[in-house]
Structure 1
Amino acid sequence: MNNITTTKGIFVISLDFELLWGVWDVTTKEKYGNNILGVKQVIPDLLNLFARYNFKATFATVGFLFAKNQAELLKYIPDCKPGYRNNDYNVYSKEVPLTGNDETDDPYHYGFSLLELIKNTTHEICTHTFCHYYCLEEGQNAEEFDADIKAAKKIAAANDITINSIVFPRNQVNEDYLSLLKDNGINIYRGNPTSWIYKPRTFTAEILFIRLCRLLDTYLPVSGYNTHVIEKKEGMPVNIPASRFLKPYNKNLAWLEKVKLKRILNEMTKAAKQNEVYHLWWHPHNFGINITENMANLTVILNHYKTLQSKYGFTNCTMKEAAGF
């Protein structure tokens, strides 16, 4: 194992671009639909804000979103599908039949126009698997995951996009699948923070106590300061570990917003001073409501990045760039 030596700290932002495919099994359109529809504004706003700061991000995109319409989506579905023991996770039987024809009549499931906006920038587009695949749930296996990744790469290639990196849905990093990723030409992945509260788990293992610890960690250093040194293992994809989920603005917790941001800014400063990596992530749909407040928070973070860049040479990379590719 070798560390990738950096002479400057690195700031990475990755976004899990998934629309309803990322939450269909945990919520409904009635409860969360406005967040999904808000992504139509969020993506252009993010791209404009990133451009203002000359900042590059990584957009981890569910393969379904590369499809312009239902016919194209169905065309790329692999024959070998995930065989989850719990059929409530089965997107192919539960959610795919409910999709409309295209983005015009079903903006919850289709977002090709937004993908095109991202494609016309310097941001990295990587995969969030083809179907928002859960790599730790019982019943699925390596053969099914391999088929999913091949489908994701195939539909991306049809849109002239080469996939180099992956973000595992629900952060279910399955180490048994890492060599398989390498075989498919995927050389970078987003791992989890090292603290036990962020250990990859199945849905049923996400008990209330762990979720509460993660909530507290948003505001207090429960897990310490999550900055990283990049480690490279021979023959394996490079891990660019996550540091912090950017929790969206919540008016009920508005009094804690400054505390939340201070925690992030302190971690960024540590990474800049110690030439380490700081990796912030969230979903565009997290910003889908309270867009003004969420963008204001991101602006505070990007302003601090610029300060650290000037003072310590803190630099911005995509996941692919951070891994040295």
Structure 2
Amino acid sequence: MTSFLTISLDFELHWGRFDKTRLRDYLEYYQETLQVVPAILEMFEHYGVHATWATVGSLMADNEEEWRAYMPTVLPQYKYERYSAYRWFDAQPQIWEEALFAPHLVRQLIDCPGQELGSHTFAHFYTCENGGSAKAFRADLKAAKTIAKSKFGQELKSLVFPRNQINEAALAISKEEGFDTVRTNPQDWYWKHTVDENLIKRLFRTGDTLVSLGQKTSYQAPQRNGEELLGLPASRLLRPFRKGSLFNQKRISRIKEEMEAAAKSGEVYHLWWHPHNFGHYPKENLRCLEDILQNFSVLKDTYGMESRSMGEF
């Protein structure tokens, strides 16, 4: 039975972090990210790796004027305003557009063989937060699909939910809006209900990158049942390199071991991360990624492992 390496990237720049960090404190971080994305694409092409770039629709705009032109007709009215990208944007005394808009990189990934332009919603929509209504979520997905189609001629078919917040209502709307494939969460208890975060869950997620604390990370390739959405569970988050950490190589070795187990058993291994995770220590992070992709090359030659984007399932 054929095994698969699947990679999905949450491509968001500051749209995915506006409620957590101050933009002006991370300008160099995003500048590095803009340089890292082409390097990742070059590496993917070299190793024949297909990937899904789940891209925030807002990032596809050229500037603020165009972003506002593509904004949804219905905006979320979150109970906590800090979760609204629109409220955040309007409250900023100064905006650094290079940390928010990168259509040139979207064009590069579309032109790179085997890369799929997916969706991470239009404005990093939180489906499980109070005030993220069904009507607003539908409008958000329509806006994401519109900008991808009108600017890049792309039909978005694969979706990754921001902060991995998933519920049945959001899945139903995603299907109705034309999505075929979504990334879902692992079945381990510390990955379920990601809106209810706590220290214990975070500790278990971190610990599981070093030693096995949960279920097996690979799985049999799922089959689509009629017109239903196809769910592809995440296997592992590729955590970024940390200076001085004794566990950098241990985390990479664990990923390689899990990949080999998937290759031997004919299963899917789904790796994911954010491109901006490479914003600090980009050279070290790229070396870690190449170590993983070299391992994929060995598994391809030895066990016939293939690379598939989410949409290719």
- What TM-score do you get using the length of structure 1 for normalisation? 0.91
1:187 aligns with 2:180: yes
1:3 corresponds to which residue? none
SS of residue matched to 1:78: coil
Query: Which residue, out of 109, 113, 124, partners 1:132?
Result: 124
2:301 corresponds to which residue? 310
Contact 2:210/2:250, CA 8 A, preserved across alignment: yes
Which of 77-86 and 123-132 deviates more?
A: 77-86
Q: What is the CA distance between 1:225 and its match in structure 2?
A: 2.8
Amino acid of the structure 1 residue aligned with 2:272: W
Q: What is the CA distance between 1:45 and its match in structure 2?
A: 0.6
2:43 corresponds to which residue? 49
1:199 corresponds to which residue? 192
Contact 1:35/1:286, CA 8 A, preserved across alignment: no
Amino acid of the structure 2 residue aligned with 1:223: G
Contact 1:128/1:166, CA 8 A, preserved across alignment: yes
1:177 aligns with 2:163: no
Q: What is the CA distance between 1:276 and its match in structure 2?
A: 0.9
1:284 corresponds to which residue? 275
1:168 corresponds to which residue? 161
RMSD of the TM alignment (CA)?
A: 1.6
Q: Per-residue CA shift, 1:127-159, capped at 9, x if unaligned?
A: 000010001111212111111001100111112
Query: Which residue, out of 127, 131, 149, partners 2:141?
Result: 149
Contact 2:78/2:130, CA 8 A, preserved across alignment: yes
Q: Per-residue CA shift, 1:207-251, capped at 9, x if unaligned?
A: 111111111111111113311222534432101111000000001
1:296 corresponds to which residue? 287
Cα distance in 2 for partners of 1:36, 1:83 equals: 28
Amino acid of the structure 1 residue aligned with 2:235: S
Gaps of 5+ in 1: 1-6
Query: Which residue, out of 8, 21, 37, partners 1:27?
Result: 21
1:267 corresponds to which residue? 258
Contact 2:8/2:272, CA 8 A, preserved across alignment: yes
Q: Per-residue CA shift, 1:297-318, capped at 9, x if unaligned?
A: 1111001101111111100001
Q: How many matched pairs? A: 310
Q: What is the CA distance between 1:56 and its match in structure 2?
A: 1.5
Contact 1:179/1:235, CA 8 A, preserved across alignment: no
Gaps of 5+ in 2: none
Contact 2:158/2:182, CA 8 A, preserved across alignment: yes
Amino acid of the structure 1 residue aligned with 2:188: S
Contact 1:70/1:100, CA 8 A, preserved across alignment: no
Contact 1:100/1:106, CA 8 A, preserved across alignment: no
Task: Output aligned runs, 1:189-228, within 5 Å.
Answer: 189-202=182-195, 205-228=196-219
Contact 2:18/2:88, CA 8 A, preserved across alignment: no
Task: Output aligned runs, 1:22-101, within 5 Å.
Answer: 22-96=16-90, 98=92
